[in-house]
Structure 1
Amino acid sequence: MLSGYDPTLLAWALSAFFVAGGLFNIIAPPMLAAEYAHWGYPSWFHYITGLCELSAAALMAFPPTRLPGGVLAMAVMAAAVITVLWHHQRTHAIAPGIVFVLTGAMLSML
């Protein structure tokens, strides 16, 4: 679809997004911890999410590991979309849905 385009800028932008998201999930301010509890996840699950996001960010930053990083990033965003839709928080699905599509676009450039 988008072959022939250089995915570097998009990959770096996505990496920055996932670094921010990963740190936010690891720090887990009280309102985020409350959301995880509302969704029925264990109290420690935000650490797993944050670690996955930081791993995806690191992998997407470098060309040789962009593919596995993008796949991991898409899995995290798919899980986020499914979680909020399951809990009828439709507007919360917009941002991870967009990031899912952008990550797919980046992968299609590889």
Structure 2
Amino acid sequence: MKLFTDCLPYIMAAIYLIGFFVNAFPGEKIRDNYRRWGYPAKFYYVTAAVEMITVILLSIPDLVTAGFILSMVLNVAALLTLYRSRELKDGIAALIFILVSAAWILVFCFSEIR
């Protein structure tokens, strides 16, 4: 259990850091996706900023819970976008991130109550 609570925030932060770079320096495919989803031009920079904030929160021990909450919000937005555009099969990763974040929060909160 200690490995779960100690390492998971850093693993998630590393994944979000990759997401930050993908959205901060988007290729044509990323730009096309955002256009197809109906987002304003350069909205991928907003996503990149939120991902970087998530990285920072997940990397600071006292703010990890906030990082997991922001992770859930970001991925719920991603799922809603994919649902709206009828691309829900691409939402598996977002769903996994939501479940992992929720599990971490539950484990952390219950361990703090004891």
TM-score (norm 2): 0.88
Compare relative contact order (CA 8 Å, sep 6+) and give the higher one, 1 or 2.
1
| Structure 2 equivalent of residue 107 of structure 1 | 105
**Post-superposition offset of 1:29:** 0.8
| Structure 1 equivalent of residue 20 of structure 2 | 22
Runs of 4+ in 1 over 4 A off after TM superposition: none
**Post-superposition offset of 1:109:** 2.4
Distance in 2 separating the partners of 1:43 and 1:61? 30
CA-atom RMSD in angstroms: 1.0
| Structure 1 equivalent of residue 112 of structure 2 | none
How far does the alpha carbon of each residue in 1:31-84 deviate from its partner, in whole angstroms, 9 at most, with x for none? 010000000001121001011011111101221001111111111010001100
Q: Which runs of 5+ in 2 are unaligned?
A: 109-114
TM-score (norm 1): 0.91
Are the equivalent residues in 2 in contact too, given 1:23–1:54 (CA < 8 A)? Answer: no
**Higher share of residues assigned helix:** 2
Distance in 1 separating the partners of 2:98 and 2:21? 19
Distance in 2 separating the partners of 1:8 and 1:50? 25
Q: Which runs of 5+ in 1 are unaligned?
A: none
Aligned residues: 106
